[in-house]
Amino acid sequence: MQLMKLPWLKPEKPIPLDVHVIWLPDGMSCDGDTVSVTAAEQPPIEDLILGNIPGIPKVVLHNRVLAYEQGGDNFMDWLYKAEKGKLEPFVLVIEGSIPNEKIKQEGYWTGIGNHPDGQPITLTEWIDRLAPKAFAVIAVGTCATYGGIHAMAGNPTGSMGLADYLGWKWRSWAGVPIINVPGCPVQPDNMTETLLYLLYQAAQMAPMIPLDENLRPTWLFGKTVHEGCDRAGYYEQGDFAHEYGSQKCLVKLGCWGPVVNCNVTKRGWMRGIGGCPNVGGICIACTMPGFPDKVMPFMDEPPGARLSAVGATVYGGVIRTLRQITNSGINKEPKWRHTGKKLTTGYESTNYVTGRDGRQ
Amino acid sequence: MTTMTTAERELQTGKRTLVEMNWDPVTRIVGSLGIYTKIDFQNREVAECYSTSSMFRGYSVFMKNKDPRDAPFITSRICGICGDNHATCAVYAQNMACGMQTPNTGEWIINLGEAAEYMFDHNIFQDNLVGVDFCEQMVKETNPSVWAKAQRTPSPNGDKHGYRTIADIMTSLNPFTGEFYLKALQMSRLTREMFCLMEGRHVHPSTLYPGGTGTVATIQLFTDFLVRLMKYIDFMKECVPLHDDLFNFFYEALPGYEKVGQRRVLLGCWGAWNNPDECDYTYKKMSKWGKEMYVTPGVIVDGELVTNDLVDINLGLRILLGSSYYEDWKDKEVFVKKDPLGNSVDQRHPWNQTTTPKPQKRDFQGNYSWVMSPRWYHDKTGEYLALDTGGGPIARLWATALSGLVDIGYVKAHKGKSVTITLPKTVGHPEMELEWRIPKWSNAIERDRARTYFQAYAAAAAMYFVEKAIDQVHKGHTKTWAPFEVPEEAIGCGFHEAVRGVLSHHVVIRERRIANYHPYPPTPWNASPRDVYGTPGPYEDAVQKTPIFEENGPDKFKGVDIMRAVRSFDPCLPCGVHMYLGPGKVLQTQHSPIFGMMGK
């Protein structure tokens, strides 16, 4: 097994006992991924914080929602320490879409802490300061990974995903790519398990985290919703639901499960309970780069569904090919999620868009 | 206590030494909030307070021209802890706009999901976020004398919750190590499992649709819910007495503590849980079916019920620009001139709002927040009232008690007086009756106390909903969703209680698309900045004049009393809250000219 070679493996830098996690839910976010993680049980967040899993470093978590500090400087100090390289090694977690702060002349879309002049420090400034110092950077939730809801057509903030901002080829100083754990919100265990993997990696007990071309952990996102769905039997028999509340297959009512990379139907939401199509909720492709624009309106039948639903009884290979085409379509973000000074989402601002130059 | 105008305050303050103290971001809440204060340490009082929000996301902007059926899915993403409240409220608004009614069983499923949300969310906030302000570690660091007294004070309800002294309760609340803290965290997971049974996923539901739910109504579904509910009810029988002991102790240990976070009683509640036998989602009958909700709507001014009629509540809504970063819409399109009953609708009503963001520098003497200022227009007095929700429960219990309409066995409202909650026998405890009485004050401690009682209320109401739902399944009524067509043109509104208070959604549909959509969750009400009339928002108002009991001076000041005041509102600003605790900058010792310049 190829283990990562990290600087602290040298005699003077032993495997760390603590790994700080600087978690900023300060993108365009609802804090839903932070809240989601408090529901995790495989592993639970307290097991990581209290060091209840043998052999791996303890997590020292800095997240404003779960902090002991009252806030302000007492909380912000951790960010300044990380910036100065005093918290090595640390993992940076970004939650929420990354707004484009360059499309306007002044003000802020989202920030945390203040400059000496009293104006907020924007999230993108914090990413610029902290990402180069982090051992690994995780984008949690679909907003941070690919832009998500706030990057919808017509949005006024020019929001995008972290990899759109930092670059898809970005690597940490330790050689780790951005790790995307999508989901709206993230499935609780998917996030804590990814964190756990990184702790094993930091302790030299695991090889480089395996990621797909959209930077998702492969063991979590390698299969489709449909492949794990307990309603797939109805699909196979061509027996479809025509009203919500039915226990049959939902593809004719807007379910994108056949072409969406997600394990929720296998894992459930919590302790195997809940999920999406398995419990009567159409899959709206909330883990995908093309979410939400490419799957709206959500309650309409997906364009490829008619053909593949008819063909289900005919020939599996044809279906797989057709699905791959649809799958690769929603595995791409819409073209307006980008850096630069120009807002191309379709929103017409009367008071702030400079529009002087195009994409960077 | 009244809301003083800035001019009055100026006269009363005179010369004093003020220290600037800011908390940005405020921790242990959801979202981005900043609290900026000036503190008079000599007189141990907060002299001035501003609240600011550090985020703008633009829902009302990008929802334009989208399919109205998508609204529940999109608006859920407004909030990461009570997103389902938005999805539910959006379903209510779409039901009205599209002229449909959720089938009986579907409505019970939604009610059960929302009950589980209240049980979960109040639980995790109370004991994993707010509770830290009352834990051993915090009390030792801020008020050593209170800690010493807590060690000597036996718990009056010790036989019910098992903690011998108040200090034992505080120890059990230490973060990540305290016994009760960890138990509450486990309960927050159990209740989210209950939620997922009904609405699929937490926090953005998968099974809610305009017209009902996709959840399959089976005997197993309700059994799985009920067995978990009984565990939670058992827990409530320890949780409520424990918090009564803890909160009563603070009044006793720190005389005058009732002034922390106190403000005039100006409460709003928009009602929760529809009765499917009464609610047809028509605007014309909204006055009637609103009063059949299992939490009664109400506007309360100085302890008096002004109205419990959803049509009155709707027509009184006003969105004032305040000190926020938006352009005015006074010359923009009027979408709705008259409501379906023929009443005039104001230009500043959410139906007629046009949101145009205008990013700019933060200026506390000008514009300083991404939050606008929702107010309720009291036509009898001509006041634009800065109603608060008190974090939800205190307003819900107060409004329900004043109206005296709810009577479902497990929960009964006693008009003008109290609400009783009857919890059936469970594995660890016999049947228990709890009574929440209308308190003397709207303050931090009573907001926190009401939260615990409302957890029990939600559990008791869920007992009733489960029984009704199983009865429907026994009768073979398993339909949970009703088909519908989106009309060419329509308007709709939804009224609900998000976990932390009033929630409304207003939609205008044209050419089968969204022409205008404005959600108003509780936090804009509570966290709003000074409005165009100079009236401070509720946080600002509640923190100003708050006495300081913390024993630390400016150098080690944590601001625990201020934070207890702010957190009692259960701030939730996935639209804006940051906390910055600087070392403290002494302002000039003089009559501060900044006072009186707050409005515009």
Backbone φ, ψ for residue B118 (5° rounding): -60, -45
Chain B residues in contact with A157 by the CB 8 A cut-off are 56-58
Of A76-85, A255-264, B319-328, B436-445, least confident by mean pLDDT is B319-328
State the Cα–Cα distance between residues A45 and A31, nearest whole angstrom: 16
Tell me if A107 and B574 make a contact (CB, 8 A cut-off): no
Strand ranges across the sheet with B45-53 = B45-53, B33-40, B19-23, B585-586
Q: Compare CB distances from B30 to A31, A46, A49 and report the shortest one's residue.
A: A31
pLDDT at position B576, please? 28
CB-CB contact of B385 with B266 (8 Å): yes
Name the least confident of A8-22, A41-55, B42-56, B141-155: A8-22
Q: Which of A154, A276, A279 sits opposite B65 (nearest CB)?
A: A154
Instruction: Tell me which chain B residues have a C-beta less than 8 angstroms from the C-beta of A296.
Output: 66-67, 70
For residues A71 and B226, which has the higher predicted lDDT (pLDDT)?
Answer: B226
Structure tokens at B546: 């708050």
Q: Across the interface, do B57 and A157 touch by the CB < 8 Å criterion?
A: yes
Report the C-alpha gap between A209 and A182 in whole angstroms: 16
What is the rounded distance in angstroms from the CA atom of residue B166 to the CA atom of residue B134? 11
- Give the other-Cβ count within 10 Å of B289's Cβ: 19
Sequence ranges of chain A with CATH classification 4.10.480.10: 226-330
Nearest-angstrom CA–CA distance, B358 and B402 = 42
Residue B1 in any domain: the answer is no
The CATH code of domain A226-330 reads: 4.10.480.10
Please compute the mean of the pLDDT values over residues B272-281 and round it to a whole number.
Answer: 98
Of B539, B493, B526, B76, which Cα lies nearest the Cα of B316? B493
Q: Is the pLDDT of residue B585 over 50?
A: no
Interface with chain B: mutation pick from A23, A30, A146, highest number of B CBs within 10 Å: A30
Question: Least CA distance to B28: which residue of chain A?
Answer: A65
Contact residues on chain B for A264, CB-CB shorter than 8 A: 201
CA distance B194 to B202: 10
Question: Which chain A residue shows the shortest CA-CA distance from B109?
Answer: A245
Closest approach of A168 to chain B, Cα-based (Å): 24
Asked if B362 lies within 8 A of A273 by C-beta distance, the reply is no
Checking if the pLDDT of B586 tops 60, the result is no
Question: Token pair for residue A208?
Answer: 């480089």
Cβ B137 vs Cβ B250: under 8 Å: no
Higher pLDDT, A189 or B355: A189
* Ranges of CATH 3.40.50.700 domains, chain A: 17-220
Give dist(CA A282, CA A297) in Å, integer: 12
Pairing state of beta strands B418-423 and B432-437? antiparallel
- SS (HEC) of chain A: CCCCCCHHHCCCCCCCCEEEEEEECCCECCCHHHHHHCCCCCCCHHHHHCCCCCCCCEEEEEECCCCCCCECHHHHHHHHHHHCCCCCCEEEEEECEECCHHHCCCCCCEEEEECCCCCEEEHHHHHHHHHHHCCEEEEEHHHHHHCHHHHCCCCCCCCECHHHHHCCCCECCCCCECEEECCCCCCHHHHHHHHHHHHHHHCCCCCCCCECCCCCEHHHHCCECHHHCCCHHHHHCCCECCCCCCCCECHHHCCCHHHCECCHHHHCCECCECCCHHHCCCCCCCCCCCCCHHHCCCCCCCCCHHHHHHHCCCCHHHHHHHHHHHHHHHCCCCCCCCCCCCCCCCCCCCCCCCCCCCCC
Burial tier of A280 (Cβ tally within 10 Å: 0-12, 13-18, 19+): buried
Give the residue from B140, B578, B581, B594 with the most A CB atoms within 10 Å of its CB, the best one to mutate.
B578
**Bridge partners, residue B484, by sequence:** none
Please determine, for residue B187, whether its predicted confidence score (pLDDT) is greater than 90. yes
Partner-chain contact A113 B29, CB within 8 Å: no
Q: For position B372, what pLDDT does the model report?
A: 83
How far is C-alpha B162 from the chain's CA centre? 30
Number of A to B CB contacts under 8 A, please give it. 291
Beta strand pairing call for B432-437 and B489-498: unpaired
Provide the sign of the torsion angle of the four alpha carbons A158, A161, A164, A165, taken in this order. Answer: positive
**Best CA proximity match to A259, nearest among A293, A280, A284, A292:** A284
Q: Which of B58-72, B282-296, B389-403 is least confident?
A: B58-72
Cβ-contact B479, B366 below 8 angstroms: no
Q: A106–B360: do the CB atoms touch at under 8 Å?
A: yes
Q: Which of A346, A5, A4, A310 is nearest to B65 (CA)?
A: A346
Q: What is the pLDDT of residues B530-556, one digit of tens each?
A: 888 888 889 888 998 899 999 998 888
Q: How many helices (H) and strands (E) does chain B have?
A: 18, 20
The mean pLDDT of chain A is 89
Q: Is the pLDDT of residue A100 over 50?
A: yes
Distances (CA, A) of B2 to A290, B383, B526: 52, 14, 16
- Mean pLDDT over B240-258 rounds to 98
Please, which pLDDT band fits residue B476 given cuts at 50, 70 and 90? very high
Please name the member of A114, A184, A275 whose beta carbon is closest to the beta carbon of B77: A184
Alpha-carbon span A192 to A177, nearest angstrom: 18
- Closest by Cβ to B28, choosing from A39, A67, A350: A67
Q: Cα separation of B190 and B229, whole Å?
A: 9
pLDDT of residue A13: 59
Å between B492 CA and nearest CA of chain A: 19
> How large is the average pLDDT for residues B410-421?
98
Instruction: Report the distance separating Cα B521 and Cα B88, nearest Å.
Output: 12
- The answer to whether the bond into B205 is cis (omega within 30° of 0) is no
Question: What is A17-220's CATH superfamily?
Answer: NADH:ubiquinone oxidoreductase-like, 20kDa subunit (3.40.50.700)
Give the confidence band of B34 by pLDDT, cuts at 50, 70, 90.
confident
Q: What is the mean pLDDT of residues B514-523?
A: 93
Q: What values do phi and psi take at B211, rounded to 5? A: 95, -5
Please, which pLDDT band fits residue A270 given cuts at 50, 70 and 90? very high
Interchain pair A110, B55: CB under 8 A: yes
Q: Which among B61, B83, B208 has CB closest to A155?
A: B61
Amino acid at B457: Y
Q: Mean per-residue pLDDT for A46-62?
A: 92
First to last CA, chain A: 40
- Residue B385, pLDDT > 50, answer yes
Lowest mean pLDDT among A352-356, B255-259, B502-506: A352-356
Residue B547 belongs to domain with CATH number: 1.10.645.10
Token couple for A308: 């593949």
Would residue B597 count as lying in a domain? Answer: no
Q: What amino acid is encoded at B416 in this protein?
A: G
- Residues of chain A with C-beta less than 8 angstroms from the C-beta of B560: 70
Q: Is the pLDDT of residue A263 over 50?
A: yes
Is-contact A61 A49, C-beta < 8 A? yes
The tokens describing A151, both together, are 């990057």
Determine what percent of chain A is predicted with pLDDT higher than 70: 89
Neighbours of B323 (CB within 10 A): 29
Is B74 close to A149, i.e. CB distance below 8 A? yes
CA distance, residue A143 to nearest chain B CA (Å): 10
Question: Which positions in chain B touch A284 (Cβ < 8 Å)?
Answer: 73, 206
pLDDT at A65 over 90: no
B576: helix, strand or coil: coil
CA of B77 to nearest chain A CA: how many angstroms apart? 6
| CB within 8 Å: B361 and A120 | no
Q: Do A279 and B200 touch (CB under 8 A)?
A: yes
Tell whether the model's pLDDT for residue B337 goes beyond 70: yes
Instruction: Provide, as residue numbers in chain A, all residues whose Cβ is less than 8 Å from the Cβ of B188.
Output: 38-39
The Cα–Cα gap between B266 and B6 comes to: 19
Q: pLDDT-based confidence at A107, cuts 50/70/90?
A: confident
Query: Going by DSSP bridges, is the β-strand pair B572-573/B513-520 parallel, antiparallel, or unpaired?
Result: unpaired
Q: What share of chain B is helix, strand, coil (3-state, %, to 5)?
A: 40, 20, 40
Q: Check whether B591 has a pLDDT greater than 70.
A: no
CB B501 within 8 A of CB B269: yes
Cα atoms found within 13 Å of the Cα of residue B144, Cβ hemisphere only: 3
- Pick from B193, B211, B574: CB nearest A31: B574
Q: What is the pLDDT of residue A15?
A: 73
Average pLDDT, chain B: 90
Per-residue pLDDT band for B170 (boundaries 50, 70, 90) equals: very high
Does any domain span residue B594? no
Return the closest-CA partner of residue B55 out of B83, B23, B78: B78
| B592 within some domain | no
CA triple B439-B440-B446, angle to 5 deg: 50
pLDDT of residue A130: 98
Query: To the nearest whole angstrom, how far is the Cα of B200 from the nearest Cα of chain A?
Result: 5
Alpha carbon of B517: minimum distance to chain A alpha carbons (Å)? 14
Choose between B356 and A314: higher pLDDT. Answer: B356
Rounded Cα distance, B256 and B243, in Å: 19
- A135-156 in b/e form (b: 16+ CB < 10 A) is bbbbbbbbbbbbbbbbbbebbb
C-alpha to C-alpha distance for A28 and A14, rounded to whole angstroms? 38
pLDDT tens digits, B434-461? 999 999 999 999 999 999 999 999 999 9
Q: So what's the pLDDT on residue B359?
A: 83
> What ipTM did this prediction achieve?
0.91
Do B580 and A114 lie within an 8 Å CB cutoff?
Answer: yes
Inter-chain contact A292–B64, Cβ cutoff 8 Å? no
| Res B578: pLDDT | 24
- Please tell me the predicted confidence (pLDDT) of residue A12: 56
For residue B280, what pLDDT is reported?
A: 97
Please state the rounded mean pLDDT for residues A102-124: 89
The first and second tokens of residue B160, run together, are 């019910």
Domain count, chain B: 1
The whole-angstrom separation of Cα B580 and Cα B51 is 12
Number of Cβ atoms within 10 Å of the Cβ of B218: 12
Please judge whether A72 and B581 are an interchain contact, meaning their C-beta atoms are less than 8 angstroms apart: yes
The verdict on residue B595 lying in a domain is no
DSSP, res B234: H
Q: Indicate the range of A284-293, A344-353, B210-219 predicted with least confidence.
A: A344-353
Domain of residue B188 covers 6-329+337-586
Q: Which tens digit of pLDDT belongs to each residue from B87-103?
A: 999 999 999 999 999 99
Give mean pLDDT, residues B301-313.
97
Per-residue 3-state assignment (H helix, E strand, C coil) for B395-422: HHHHHHHHHCCCECCCEEEECCCEEEEE
Which one-letter amino acid corresponds to residue B85?
Answer: N
Structure tokens at B157: 């309800």
**Which helix (H) or strand (E) element contains residue B340?**
none
CA B208, chain centre distance (Å): 22
CB contact under 8 Å between B200 and A299, yes or no, is no
Chain B CB contacts of A246 below 8 Å = 216
Instruction: With CB atoms and an 8 Å threshold, state whether A65 touches B188.
Output: no
Write the pLDDT tens digit of every residue in A162-171: 999 999 999 9
Q: How far apart are CA B162 and CA B155, in angstroms?
A: 9
Q: Do B106 and A66 touch (CB under 8 A)?
A: no
The answer to whether B17 and B589 are in contact (CB under 8 A) is yes
CB–CB contact B201 A274 (8 Å): yes
User: Minimal Cα distance from A278: which residue of B?
Assistant: B200
Which of A64, A79, A187, A301 to mutate to test binding with chain B, by most B CBs within 10 Å of its CB? A64
What is the DSSP code (8-state) at residue B68? G
